[in-house]
Amino acid sequence: MRFWICATCGVEHADRPRVCAICADERQWVPVDGQLWTTLDDLAAAGAGVAFAPLEPGLWGLTVEPAVVGIGQQAKLLVTPDGALLWDPPAFVDDAAVARVRELAGPAGVVAVVASHPHMFGVQVEWARRLRPGAGRALPVLVARADLDWVARPGEEIVDWEGEREVLPGVTLTQPGGHFPGSAVAHWAGGAGGRGVLLSGDTIFANPDRVSVSFMRSYPNRIPLSGRVAERVAAHVGRFSFERLYNNFDGVIPRDARDVVIRSARRHREWTEGAHDHLT
């Protein structure tokens, strides 16, 4: 089935509208030259492929290379003995990428495809269809109920959810909101040698200094969340133990990530409420 991919955000569309609604929103952008569309065939002709990089035992980063679609985001493949989770799915898929995911996922296979928020939908339905576990069985694409209206390519694979969901033993999806009302994170209790890992998308964004994080409505357009929302998000994920945090690019907080999140939320509130105006 032919479908369209927004070249800027990498999200699949059943039809080709005049403009991608995700990019036209204040959190994203439409290129100065106008809306651009592409297809899997076009991307394959441009040499696109999916590169796999080991991040830690049980966790792989997936990027589209060369960077011919999307904003350079890095998907994650989280592999456990009970199955694998494809998180923030890439904006491109081909037979080689599917074969590699199947190999890494092992006999239990991929149990779900999940994006942290609409910017990271990628070609989620296409990934689910190609990773389908068997005839008559759809691989679920879990989409936050609050963000369901952003889905531009419907399919039987789409399953809405809200609140909290254990998608695999020791792997919990939860929705702190913030960046989008349904923005989600994935907590992996067995990550970081059993000290816990948080896959945060850009609900909580690991900063380049590796000792702080950001809380934003829009990263490219520099729209901050309020201090109250930042602390709400931090408190929500602070219920879990996690040593390490990965965002939706190659950013990582390598240690003490839970404390970093809570401390950064406090700093965010102080700055947005004017506590440090004397420094400006």
Instruction: Please state, rounded to an integer, the average pLDDT across all residues of the chain.
Output: 97
pLDDT at residue 2 in the model: 87
Q: What is the pLDDT of residues 33-66, one digit of tens each?
A: 999 999 999 999 999 999 999 999 999 999 999 9
Mean pLDDT of 108-135: 95
Q: Phi, psi at residue 119, to the nearest 5°?
A: -60, -25
- Tally the domains of the chain: 1
Say how far apart CA 118 and CA 143 lie, in whole Å: 9
The count of other CB atoms within 10 Å of the CB of residue 78 is 26
Whole-prediction pTM value? Answer: 0.97
Backbone dihedral region for residue 195 (phi beyond 0: left; psi -120 to 50: alpha; all else: beta) = alpha
**Is the predicted pLDDT of residue 178 greater than 90, yes or no?**
yes
Residues 59-76 have a mean pLDDT of: 96
245 Cβ partners below 8 Å, 6+ apart? 197, 198, 199, 200, 204, 206, 213, 252, 253, 257, 260, 261
Name 142's bridge partners. Answer: 114, 159
Q: What is the CATH number of the domain that holds 194?
A: 3.60.15.10
> 35 vs 24, 28, 40, 98, CA distance in Å?
9, 13, 17, 29
Band (pLDDT 50/70/90 cuts) for residue 136 is low
From the number of C-beta atoms within 10 Å of its C-beta (0-12, 13-18, 19+), residue 179 rates as buried
DSSP string, 7-58: TTT--EESS--SS-HHHHSTTS---TT---EE-HHHHHHTT-EEEEEEEETT
> Where do the DSSP E strands lie in 66-196?
75-80, 83-87, 110-114, 141-144, 158-161, 164-168, 171-174, 185-188
204, 246 contact by CB (below 8 A): no
Give the residue-averaged pLDDT of 155-161: 97
If pLDDT is split at 50, 70 and 90, which confidence band does 135 have? low
> Which tens digits make up the pLDDT trace of 215-260?
999 999 999 999 999 999 999 999 999 999 999 999 999 999 999 9
For residue 240, what are the domain limits?
Answer: 4-279
What would the two tokens of residue 55 be? 């991040």
Average pLDDT over residues 111-122: 98
